[in-house]
Each structure stands twice: as structure tokens, then as C-alpha cells.
Amino acid sequence: MTYTVNGRRFAEEPGPGQCLRTFLRSLGQYGVKKGCDAGDCGACTVWLDGDPVHSCITPAFRADGHEVTTIEGLGSPGTLHPMQRQFRDAPGFQCGFCTAGMIMTSATFTEAQKADLPRALKGNLCRCTGYRGIEDAVKGVTGLETAAPGKAVGTSVGAPAGNEVVTGRAEFTMDTHLDGMLHLKVVHSPHAHARIASIDKTAALAVPGVHRVYTWEDVPNRRFTTAIHTDHLVDPDDTRILDDTVRFVGQRVVAVLADTVAAAEEGCRKVVVEYEPLPAVFDPEEAMAEGAPPLHGSHDPFVRDPAHNILLELHGHVGDVEAGFAEADVVHEGTYFSPRVQHAHLETHGSIAWMADGRLNVRTSSQSPSIAKAKLGYLFALRPDQLRVFCTRVGGGFGGKQEVISEDLVALATLDTGRPVCFEFTREEEFTTASPRHPMSLTVKLGAKADGTLTAIQVRNVSNTGAYGNHGGETLYAGGAAVMIYRCPNKKYDAYSVYTNTVPSGALRGYGMTQPAYAVESAMDELARAAHIDPLALRRRNLVRPGDPLIAMSAGPDDVSFSEDGLAKCLDLVEEALARTADEPSPGPGWLVGTGVASSLHETAPPTEHVSEAWVTLGDDLVYELAVGTVEFGEGTSTAHVQIAANQLGTTPSRIRLVQSDTDRTGFDTGAFASAGLFVAGNAVLRAANAVRDRILEFAAAHTGVHLVLCSLHDEGVVCGERRLSLAELVALARARGIRFTAARKAYGSPRSVTSNTQGFRIAVHRVTGEIRILHSVQATDAAVVINPAQVRGQVEGGVAQGIGFALTENHHVDTHGVMVNPNFRNYRIPTYADVPRTEVLLVESSDSVGPLRSKGMAECCINPVAPALANALHDATGVRFRALPLTPERIYRRLNESRSVPAA
């Protein structure tokens, strides 16, 4: 067979049954990505004789004698194809993992296809952008700007890796191959709860190419938590690398190491495991009941009540809620349910480990290499100098990679064999073994006077943490933000994080606030209607104001600065935007139209300690090197950090060379989560850049004899009074004296501030089919000083798109035996281009008190008000209240036909 790939001929033979995707990657074409291996996502799109195909479902032999073009063959960083340039300049990407496939599909479009993108792009998924940036890219709309020296902040400059992303040269975790690399695959439990009676490795070890079969007897007997936080004590040490007891369907039981993925998979099929099934419990209320089967013993003192499967419970109050309800004229009570939701980042979890100079190196798709390193050091008794953990570009995260769930096994196997080891999750493993959003059931009781003044708020939150407690406690604390948004003298918050025999829950964008926001904002709408008050008027009457204490569970002091009235401004902007479309006609007969609004507050850093260190150095090449540990996975921190540094150093982003997310080359960084990538790491970058600027100016002032206040730093050098010194002169003079212009600075996640968001929807609901059409989507956000307007807009659009999926289509279906029955994109249904409307993004003019250059992070908070705003719009249109998500057409159809309260069309 002969293959022509990007104009180059190859004589390699594919393996029996090998797909074109894996064959092309074996030839070094790493721009061909794996997102699903089922033809659902389009990340693997290539051209076969000029026609786009999904290479994951195209047999490699079909390319014999044909011309294959991958993203690498479309153009290079120096000679971009027009579509590559358009995706760079729109910008049409965030994490960039789907971008190669998007470009390969879009570059073939006719004008007719460009006019019908819902159909033309149906085979390509993006989880980050919300698709507006992709539409702009396809249509040639440019959104980038050029920053003048020292004026980078406030400018929509492009991502530092833009050229590499659009040409497929940007390296993601799995885009490499090491000589002698072995592959690891895992045997997963078919039982929700069982004790392992025996494991027979004999047949597996006899499979050609299999080197090792690891069981619970072969791993360090150390308990840990997979969750990533600076303070590991906030999460329970209830997990082992491999265990002799399994607590959910999908838990890993055995790891098989082999020369190839196929041999490792065959080895997994040959392992014989005998289980002793144990009673299982899937509902958290049942798990807390007397006599429920216990999942864990009392090994970890952090576990609150192992006999009742309670990981943690919180009880807090201010005032007297019973007295508050007694004085209320109107009381509303309802229970609201938010199901599991998967992150569905296009790049699955994966890690590669190898030994070099006696040190363990781990390349991984993590949101925190620093803490992953600490966990691996603990598990395998390694000193910090014996271990390096780093990330290349990461293909999406959203909190899903705030876990150590692939690094430990590759470290184990490499330390054992001395050989490089690769472990990459399948898409099914993402759905069945990675940590989704916590299902939460919240009972909300609200009391108000006739004029709408709240007299009492009471919330009971039952959170299903699954089989293990990673993030179970911290997400429970976070839910208080939904309560603190409103003034009320009497508040009560009771919350329980409960173990069940289901996949462990984890961190997902919004982190414990999205579910309570859905409940509280839905309940506020119901209270308003019961009191015959406009829902916006009810919110305005009760919103917290600058200077008010942010009270959820206690009136004790905290470190949150609340000095900007962004929330009221957000409400005003959304109300005005919705009013502009109020008179637009409905789609036609049979459609019911309604509007809905919801708001949220979000703290700009987590309450537990968050630390980041940044290093800035002026090199001999006159480029400033910025080293910061924060990972880039589409949240845009790398661009913002470069802008902050360029702004303070009086230069342009092109003069900043970024080094990031490598424990050998950067300082400690807690991680890119909870919006801390901008808030904490951004402050570290700001301080380090300022320190280098000051050192340069002090040196120049001393050298010229000009007073420091008369010296200023510019792009090419320093002006001291009437004298100009180039950077080249200054560096040479400093070198001669043994001086380097370099500085390191740290920042911490305290004090914190809050950001505000209000989401509005105008929707149409078909009274027969239950279909929802979003006619207008608008979100107002308090971003304070905007570092990069295009990025802020993109983050909000992406968050709204995810929130729409969370509210309307996505559900982690688990059957009565604890088995997830839809572990693929096709049946799980994340939003496609056709599902996501353009969202109008409105920015409140404000200024933060503690953020870098008075800015706030925007990547996380924008998702919180989306689901309740949709639910409120649905009620406004139909008169029927839905208190459980998702709002699927079949559920809406059933309720509309059951209800007599639906108005005539």
C-alpha cells in the first residue's frame, strides 16, 4: 500500500482494522485529534482527495492510493491557509482542541454551506466557544486588535499560541511519541458495590506484548484524595490507586501494561476477576437512612458520619427563620433537582510518564501540575527533586482536570519498568469514570411581606458525592453563594454531602453554585408570582448592596470585599435588552412566548488558600520571559498574563515569551480553577512585572544620575530626562556588573471580591412538541476592567452555551444497577452549533478593588444563572413550572398535555 499524506509518500502498512486517525498520528500528524472515536465530534477531520471525512471511522486502508490532507498540510505558521487565518483572527477557538477539525471542515464550504452553518457544521462539536467565534471565523469576521506599547490591557489581542493552534502545531498532551513507550489500559468494575475475592492474571500475562498486570496488591497502600486543592485536608483521603473493594460501576480494578493499546485491551479482556457483590445504594436520601449499606469505614476522620454515608454536613443560620416565616405574608416552598452533567471537554484525560536522569517526568492533562506533583510525591515516596510534572496545551478542563486520575497509574508503571508509559482515557471512560457535576436536590423555602421584602430564606441541600468524596465538601460550602445574593435578616442553610454507589462527583464550572443558583432563582420567580410582584422588582428590592455583609450561613467576618454595585446594573442592562425584542412576533401558530431572568454572585477565588508565583526576566535577546505555573486550557489566562506583563513593562505582547505549567521551569501555582488563573496568578504576574520595571528604572537612574521620577520605561529602552538608553545598552551594562533584570513575586487568593451576572432569555415553546427555541439570549456581567474584550465575550458565550446544554439536553442517565447507559456524545447530547443562539454580552462599567489592574475573572461565573433563567422563561410562556432538569421536549410535552393552566395559543 502507498499513502500520500500532505504531499509526502509513505509506504507504511496500517494494522488490521486500524482507523485512519490512529494511522495518521503514527506518521506524526498530531493535528488529527481524538475526541470520540465514534464519528460524533469531528476533531479528527481530514481530507480524502479534498473531501472532509471523520478519520476515526474511516478505515486506514481506504486511503491507499489517495491523497490525504491534514491540518499540517493545509498551511504553516508562516503561510496560513485563508481559513486558518480567519480562525486565528476571529478568534474562532479557545482551548483549540477542536480547531483543526473545524478548519478542515470549514475550508471546503461553498457559499451555500456558509449560509446554512447549522447543517454544514453538524458534524463538528466545540465545548468552549459557544460557536459565535467559529461562525465569525467561517465568515471572515475579524475580532483581533493590535496593542500599542504599554497599552495591551483593554485590547483584543490574539492568543500567544494562535498560529500554532490553527496549523495543528500546538502540542496537546498526547501529541508525542517516546521510544519504547508502553500503553496502559484498565479493567473496570461491572458492579456498583463488591469485594474482590480473587484476580487471576495468568491468561492476561500470556497475551503477546503484555508486560505487567497490576492489582490492588501491587500498588502503594496509601489513601489519598484525587481532588486538587492547595490544602488537601479539605477533601477526604478515601481513595486508593487500586482497591480490593469497588464502590461504583466503572471503578478501575486492574491495570494492564503492554506494547500496544490493542495488546493492553486484549490483556484486560483476559483478566479473570471474581467479585463478592455487596448491597448498593444510589439515592442520597436512602443512603442517609438507618440500615443503608455503608460505603466507607471510619478510616478518615474527615468523614462526618460513615454509618449514614455522610461525608460532610453543614448547618448555619442567622436570625430566626421560624419567626421570619411567621411574619411573612407570602411563603413559597419547592424542591429543585439538578442532575449529573459531564464536562465533555474534547480532549480526554491522559498522561505520559518516563524516566530521565533518574527523575520521573509526567506530562499530563491537568489543571494543576504543582499539586499533581505533590500528590505523586506522597503516593510514591518521591522527593520534589525526583519528580517533574508539566502540561503542554490542555484541550479543555472546566474543572474536570482538577483531579489526579491518570497520573498515578503511569507513574506506578514507569517507576516499576523504567520505560515510558502512556494512559489515555476513551470517551466512554470519561463518561463512566471521570467526575461529573454533583447531582443536588435543594428544598428552598422563602417568605416575604406583601411589598416583596424577604423575611426568611431556608435551604436544605442534599448533594450526591458518589462513591468518593473528592470535592464533596468544598462544593457544599460554595452553594452558600446562592443564598448570600439577597438581603434577609433570617437565613438557614442545611447541607449534606452523601456517599452513594455512583461515579464520584467532582468540580465543574460553577463549582457547587450552579445547582443552588438554579434552585434559589427559580424559587424567587415562584415567590414573585405568588405575591403578584414582577420578578425583577422582587430581586431589586432584596439585592445585596455594596457595604452589606455577604451572609449565607453565619454573620462572621470574611475576606470578601464587596464594594461595587455590579449586580443591580446587570439587572438593568438585561431588562433593557429584553425590552428591545418584546414586540417581535412569535415563530407562528402553536408557539408560546415567554421571558425569564436570573442572577448570581460569584467569589473571585475559592475560600481555601490559593497561591501563585510568577517570574519575569529580561533576556539577552531583549525579550521578557514570563514564567507562571498556570495551565492554558481555553480559559485565556496565557493571553491575559502576557497582556498584563506587556502593559506594565511598556512593551507589546510580541515581546513577552511565555513559559507556563512546568514544575521544573515555573514557580508553584495552585491551579487554573475557580477563576484564580486571572485573579491570583494575574496579580503575581503584575507584581513580578512591576518589580522588573522598577529594577530597570532604578539601574538606569543610577547610571545616568537622573532622578528616578524622571525616568520612564518604553518599548525600546528607558528615557531619563533628556537621555535615552536602549534596552540593549542597559542589559550590556548590567551584565558587566553581574546584574540581571529579573524578579519573582507571589500572590494569594485573599482578599477576594465578587463578580455579578444576570442572564435573560426570550423563548418560544411549541405547545404540541415541547420544543424550545431561544429567540433572544443576553447576559450582563460585571467584569470590572476588561483585560481582553474578545476573550471576555468568548468566555461568557461559552459559559452560556454550556448552561443551555445543562438546562435543555444533557443528562447522565444511570439505570437501576448504577450503570451509565449513554456514555457517548451522540446520546449524551452536548449542544451543537444549531442548538446555541448568539448571546448578547453586555459589560458593566466598574472597577474591582483587589483584582490585577482592577479586573475580574469571567471564565466560570457566567454559567450560573443560565438554567434558572431558562426555567423561568419556560414558566412564563406556559404557566407550568419545571423544578427538575433537563427541560427536554418530551418532559415539556407531557406536562403541557397534563396541565390545564396552559394559555390558548
DSSP string, 405-437: SSHHHHHHHHHHHSS-EEEE--HHHHHHHS--B
71 closest CA partner among 63, 81, 61, 58? 81
Length of the chain equals 905
To the nearest 10 degrees (0 to 180), the angle between helices 535-542 and 566-580 is 170
**Quick check: helix, strand or coil at residue 281?**
coil
**Quick check: helix, strand or coil at residue 196?**
strand
**Distance between CA atoms of residues 685 and 367, nearest Å:** 18
Residues of the chain with pLDDT under 70: 899-905
Calculate the alpha carbon distances from 863 to 20, 514, 658, 780 in Å. 37, 7, 29, 12
- The three cell numbers of residue 686 are 503584575
**Quick check: helix, strand or coil at residue 747?**
strand
Running DSSP on this structure, what letter comes out for residue 61? G
To the nearest 10 degrees (0 to 180), the angle between helices 99-106 and 82-89 is 130
**CB contact at 8 A, 596 and 871:** yes
Which parts of 623-741 are beta strand (E)? 624-628, 656-660, 711-713, 717-720, 723-726
- The three cell numbers of residue 428 are 466512554
**CB contact at 8 A, 525 and 535:** yes
**Distance between CA atoms of residues 448 and 487, nearest Å:** 12
Helices (H), 230-345: 261-270, 284-288, 321-326
**Distance between CA atoms of residues 231 and 371, nearest Å:** 10
What's the gap between Cα 312 and its chain centre?
25
Q: How many CB atoms lie within 10 A of CB 293?
A: 13
Give the per-residue pLDDT at 482. Answer: 85
**CB contact at 8 A, 753 and 850:** yes
User: Sign (positive/negative) of CA torsion 334, 340, 345, 349?
Assistant: positive
What's the gap between Cα 827 and its chain centre?
21
Which parts of 525-653 are beta strand (E)? 560-561, 591-603, 611-618, 624-628
**CB contact at 8 A, 125 and 40:** yes
Q: How many CB atoms lie within 10 A of CB 276?
A: 12
**Distance between CA atoms of residues 308 and 499, nearest Å:** 9
**Distance between CA atoms of residues 143 and 150, nearest Å:** 20
Give the per-residue pLDDT at 905. Answer: 41
Burial (CB count <10 Å: 0-12, 13-18, 19+), residue 609: middle
**Distance between CA atoms of residues 410 and 839, nearest Å:** 42
**Distance between CA atoms of residues 682 and 675, nearest Å:** 10
**Distance between CA atoms of residues 372 and 671, nearest Å:** 10
Give the per-residue pLDDT at 900. Answer: 55
**CB contact at 8 A, 548 and 833:** no
**Distance between CA atoms of residues 621 and 535, nearest Å:** 60
What is the CA angle 243-352-184, rounded to 5?
A: 50
Give the per-residue pLDDT at 811. Answer: 87
**Distance between CA atoms of residues 412 and 856, nearest Å:** 40
188 closest CA partner among 128, 113, 275, 292? 275
- The three cell numbers of residue 615 are 517570574
- The three cell numbers of residue 193 are 458495590
Calculate the alpha carbon distances from 206 to 156, 267, 330 in Å. 58, 8, 72
